[in-house]
Amino acid sequence: MTEIAFKSMGTTLIVSEDRIILDHNRKIGNLSKKVEIMFTELERIEEEKPKLFSGYAYFRRHQDPEIDNKEAMIHEQAIIIRSKKKYKEYEKIRELIKQRNAECAKHVKNPSNRIDSLVEQLTSNPNESIQFEAHQGHLTISAYTVSINHKILHRGRNGEREFSISSIDSIHLSKSGIKAGRIRFFTGSTSSSENYKAYLASENELLITGIDDYHRMYEAKQLIERLRAYHADKPYQAVTQPAQSSSRSAADEIRAFKSLLDEGIISEEEFEQKKAQLLRQ
């Protein structure tokens, strides 16, 4: 399928096979210049026809909060349409978007099933991990751990912070606005009284600077929360899966479980039970 472009008021709307792209040549506050919305993310299109004032088309994603007409018109997920003639041109593009959206829906799993698939993928192969990118760093998620990698300095120390999924008490996620948004992980060692800073992250958080960052981190949050629930339901199976390998010695197995103990993934009691079991074999 070919890409179709529609230009209006400094924004180019591009419709491809699996997504729409809004390329803004006009300045929209501190928001992104280019936004990509997969058809699988698109919930609906909200429109206002041009009358005395310009109209708009706002492309709402599934997790987007409700906003009013003024916010929608200047949103980075919207295109402004000044005249009725231009709106007539847009209507043809809108029908193409609906058509391709329906075609994608036939072949793609819904978001909930996608998260379930990722959980199965990670828990069946503990050596595998999935990376979620943001402008200022990335998250790396495995079946048992989350790593935060900062591209820029943050409060505390720079580089990478890793902690076990079982140690996470809650996850805070917010969109960017006047201040940067963030995804922040609260563990037993996290101070809830620590003040947020507009553009400086703590070691337990990653800053979010645009809507694409937010949607990637929203999916990462869903995946981590599903993994937390998985481990809560199957604590013993979850911690013992990585060690199942007929080609490794009992000593190798014990070292692997000792690493899980050191990381706080399993308890001292679980480690001793497994160690005793391996030494008996």
**Statement to judge: residues 195 and 252 lie in one domain:** no
Q: Give the residue from 81, 107, 133 where a domain finishes.
A: 107
The residues pairing with 23 across neighbouring beta strands, listed in sequence order, are: 12, 34
**Statement to judge: residues 188 and 224 lie in one domain:** yes
Q: How many domains does the chain have?
A: 3
Bridge-based pairing state of the strands 78-81 and 55-61: antiparallel
**Statement to judge: residues 220 and 120 lie in one domain:** yes
Residue 124: is its pLDDT beyond 50? yes
pLDDT in tens, 227-265: 988 888 765 444 444 444 444 567 767 777 776 676 666
Contact assessment for residue 208 and residue 181, using Cβ atoms and an 8 Å cutoff: yes
**Statement to judge: residues 226 and 241 lie in one domain:** no
**Statement to judge: residues 16 and 100 lie in one domain:** yes
**Statement to judge: residues 128 and 223 lie in one domain:** yes
Residue 10: is its pLDDT beyond 80? yes
What rounded mean pLDDT belongs to the chain? 78
Q: Give the residue from 107, 138, 167 where a domain finishes.
A: 107
pLDDT in tens, 146-166: 998 877 654 444 567 888 888
Single pTM value for the model: 0.51
**Statement to judge: residues 39 and 134 lie in one domain:** no
pLDDT in tens, 46-88: 999 998 889 999 999 877 778 888 888 888 889 999 999 999 9
**Statement to judge: residues 40 and 66 lie in one domain:** yes
Q: What is the CATH number of the domain that holds 66?
A: 2.30.29
Residues 6 or more apart whose CB falls under 8 angstroms from that of 233 comprise none
**Statement to judge: residues 127 and 210 lie in one domain:** yes
Bigger pLDDT: 256 vs 37 = 37
**Statement to judge: residues 117 and 227 lie in one domain:** yes
pLDDT of residue 81: 93
Bridge-based pairing state of the strands 145-150 and 137-142: antiparallel
Q: Give the residue from 87, 107, 127 where a domain finishes.
A: 107
Contact assessment for residue 213 and residue 135, using Cβ atoms and an 8 Å cutoff: yes
Domain with 264 in it: 236-280
**Statement to judge: residues 257 and 269 lie in one domain:** yes
Q: What is the CATH number of the domain that holds 217?
A: 2.30.29.30
Residue 132: is its pLDDT beyond 50? yes
pLDDT in tens, 195-232: 544 445 567 888 887 777 888 888 899 899 999 888 88
